[in-house]
Structure formats: structure tokens, C-alpha cells
Amino acid sequence: MIYENITAEDAKEIMDTETDYIILDVREQDEYDVGHIPGAILIPYTEIENQAALKLPDKDTLLLIYCRSGRRSKIAAEALVELGYSNIKEFGGIIDWPYEIEK
């Protein structure tokens, strides 16, 4: 099983047209507090193994994953694949996100 890399534009289109997905921010709390994509839930990438079962109970739900630049989101996506999640799209970093940010 593998995750899919998509663009910020692809992720935004999913957010605008689908209803059953989770936006997952895998940065740290202080980064999330400065600004995040509206509706995103925070699980720092170092906490994926500890928090995934609790915060992401359905392993088939579409997960849209991002971090600051794209490095940590790839690590998190790989960890979630290892944990059995099957519908993962990684769209890089918030630094490349041209849309709305929530503080």
C-alpha cells in the first residue's frame, strides 16, 4: 500500500467538492497556532503512532496531509501506511498553500 502525492490545487478541489475527508496537519502545536488550513486537525508527525487510532478511527477515510514544507508530511504518510491506513493523499507544505489560512 502506498500514499499519493497531490498538489495544493488538487487538495483544495477535494476540500471544495468532497465531504468525507480529514485534513491532517503534522507540524508542531506552536506552528499550528500561528496558522493552519481551516478544519485541519493536528497530530504532530512524531505522535502519529500514538494518536492515530484515537483521532483517526476509520482507516479508509480520505486523509489529506500537510506540514510546513512537505518533509514531515511524507514521513507521516509513510507511518500511516504502515499502520494500515489506505486512503492517503499528501500535498506538501503550507508554505505552498495559496488559499485561506486560519489562525
Are 3 and 91 in contact by the 8 Å Cβ rule? The answer is: no
CA distance 16 to 26: 21
Check 67, 77, 88, 94 and give the catalytic one: 67
91 is catalytic: no
CA distance 40 to 30: 14
CA distance 78 to 88: 9
For the annotated catalytic residues, the residue numbers are 67
